[in-house]
Amino acid sequence: MNVVLISTYELGRQPFGLASPAAWLREAGASVTTLDLAVQPLSMQAVSAADLIAFYIPMHTATRIAAGLVDKVRELNPTAHLCFYGLYASVNEAYLRRLGAGTILGGEFEQGLVELVKRLSSNGNGTPHPGPVEATVSLGRQQFLVPDRSDLVHLSNYARLNVAPGEQKVVGYTEASRGCKHLCRHCPIVPVYNGNFRIVQRDVVLRDIEQQVAAGAQHITFGDPDFFNGPTHALQIVQALHKRFPDVTYDVTIKVEHLLKYPQHLPLLRDTGCLFVTSAVESVDERILRIFDKGHTKEDFVRVVQMFREIGLNLAPTFVTFTPWTTLSGYFDLLSTLLELDLIENVPPIQYAIRLLIPTGSKLLELPETQAIVGEFDQAGLSYPWLHPDPAVDELYRAVLKAVQQGQAQGESRRAIFATVWNLANDALASSVRRRLEVVQFDQAPPRAEVPYLSEPWYC
C-alpha cells in the first residue's frame, strides 16, 4: 500500500510526527513517502499514486494550511483514503469529516495508522469499510519504534539555534513524552489527553537523538509539552545524552509550577547542556492566571526568574498577551515586569502580540466569563471568535502586531521592538504618569550576555 504522510507546519522543526509513524508503517509493510510542505513542494506524483494520504496536524496553523490543501489533493487523487492525525485532529473532527476525511486519529496515533493501513489493505483495492473503525482518540501506551527520518528533508533546512552574533547551531527535534498531567483551561492538549501523559521509551529517544547527531545536529529541542511531567524519565535521558554527546546542547519546556516543585533538578539541566527552558507563563494578571487555571502566580514567576539567575540557566517565558480579560493597564504591567526583571532579551517579540485562541473542546468554554464574550464557532478559523469589551485593547493588539511584524522584517533588535511596543502601550493608556522609552536610547543600553534562541519562535 502506498502511503503519503504530509506535514504542513511545525515551528521550523523536522517533524517527529512524520518520522515516527513512517517507521511503524514501513515495518507493517507499507510504502511510505513523507512530505514536509514547510520546506518542500507537494509531490504531485506521490499524491497521485497514494492509497492513503494522511495529514499531520499538531498545531492550529498546521490544521488551517492542511484544510486549504484538501481540494488540491482530491483533484490529484479523488480515490485515496484521507486521514488527519495529531493533536488538532480529534477536536476538529466534524469540520475535517466535512472536508472528506475518512479517518481521524488524535492522541497516540501510530498504532491507529497501522491498523488503518491493515484495514484498507484487507479490502484489496484500498477502499475503506463504511464509517470510522479506529478510535478517534487513543491514549494507549505504545511501544515506540525509532523514528525513520531517512527520506525527510535534511536538518540544515530547518530552524537554527542562534548562540551568539554570527554563530548558529543545527537543531534536531525529538519527543520524550506526549500529553500533560495538568488541565490548564486554555491549553489545546487538555481536550485530547485530559490530564494524561505518555512517555516515549528512553532507548528510542536516545537512538533518535543519535541518528540526528550523525546527520549534523548540534542542539536538540525536546518537544514535550512539559519535560517534568515525568522528571525521572526526563533526567535519565539528558544524563545519557550528555554522557554520549557532551558537546550537544538542548532545550526543554517546563511549566512554572514544576520549576518551583523540582528546583533540585535545575542544576543537572544546566550541567548536562540545557541552554534554556521555555515556560508558558501566559500572564502576570492574577485574574487571568486563575481563569486559565495555570497553577502559579505572578510572584511565582518572579521567584523562578530569580532562581534561574542564581543557577545560571536561561528562561524563555511565553505569554498569551491579549485575552478578553486583558486590560490596558494589565498589558502595561506585563511590559513593566519584563523590564524590571531584565527579560527583554529572553522574550521573542511575537510574544507581545499573541491573541487567545479558543478552539473546540476548550475548557475555557465551561466558564460563564467565556460564554459571555464568544461568538458562533468559526469553522474556517477553527476557533470561537471574540471581541474585547474595550475596543482600545483590540486596537492596541492590531498596532502591536503590526509593529512586531515590521520590526522583525527590518531586522530590529529585541530591545528596539520592545521599546516600540512599550510606547504604543503607553500611548494607549494616555496617562501622564507613564514614561516613554525612546527607541534609540533604550537600544543603546548595556547589553546582557547573549541569550540563545531558536530562529523560529516558539508559541503555543
CA distance 296 to 293: 8
pLDDT tens digit at each of 460 positions of the chain: 999 999 999 989 999 999 999 999 999 999 999 999 999 999 999 999 999 999 999 999 999 999 999 999 999 999 999 999 999 999 999 999 999 999 999 999 999 999 999 999 987 655 554 445 666 888 899 999 999 999 999 999 999 999 988 889 999 999 999 999 999 999 999 999 999 999 999 999 999 999 999 999 999 999 999 999 999 999 999 999 999 999 999 999 999 999 999 999 999 999 999 999 999 999 999 999 999 999 999 999 999 999 999 999 999 999 999 999 999 999 999 999 999 999 999 999 999 999 999 998 899 999 999 999 999 999 888 999 999 999 999 999 999 999 999 999 999 999 999 999 999 999 998 754 566 776 656 665 555 557 898 988 765 4
What own/partner pairs with CB < 8 Å and gap ≥ 24 does 384-388 have? 384/358, 384/359, 386/324, 386/356, 386/358, 388/322, 388/324, 388/326
Whether this model's pTM surpasses 0.75: yes
| Residue 397 cell numbers, joined | 493588539
Q: Are 91 and 361 in contact (CB under 8 A)?
A: yes
What are 107's strand-pairing partners?
Answer: 138
Counting other chains too, the contacts that 116-125 makes at CB distance below 8 Å and 24 or more residues apart are: 116/52, 116/81, 116/83, 117/1, 117/3, 117/25, 117/28, 117/30, 117/52, 118/28, 120/1, 120/51, 120/52, 120/81, 121/1
Side-chain half-sphere exposure of 83, counting CA atoms within 13 A = 31
**How far, in whole angstroms, is CA 202 from its chain's centroid?**
22
> Which run of H or of E encompasses 173?
strand 167-174
pLDDT at 393: 96
268 vs 406: CA distance, rounded Å? 39
pLDDT at 447: 55
> Biggest alpha carbon distance in the chain?
75
Q: Is the dihedral of CA 195, 363, 188, 92 positive or negative?
A: positive
Q: What are phi and psi of 3, to 5 degrees?
A: -120, 135
Number of H helices, E strands in the chain: 17, 15
Supply the pLDDT for residue 441: 62
CA atoms within 13 A on the CB side of 343: 29
Q: Is beta strand 2-7 parallel, antiparallel or unpaired with respect to 81-85? A: unpaired
Angle between helices 414-429 and 328-340 (to 10 degrees): 150
Q: What is the pLDDT of residue 133?
A: 60
Residue appearing with cell numbers 486559565: 292
Cβ atoms of 103 and 134 closer than 8 Å: yes
Task: Count CB neighbours of 212 within 10 A.
Answer: 24
Sole residue written with cell 471574540: 386
- Determine the Cα–Cα distance for residues 219 and 349; give it in Å rounded to an integer: 23
pLDDT of 311: 97
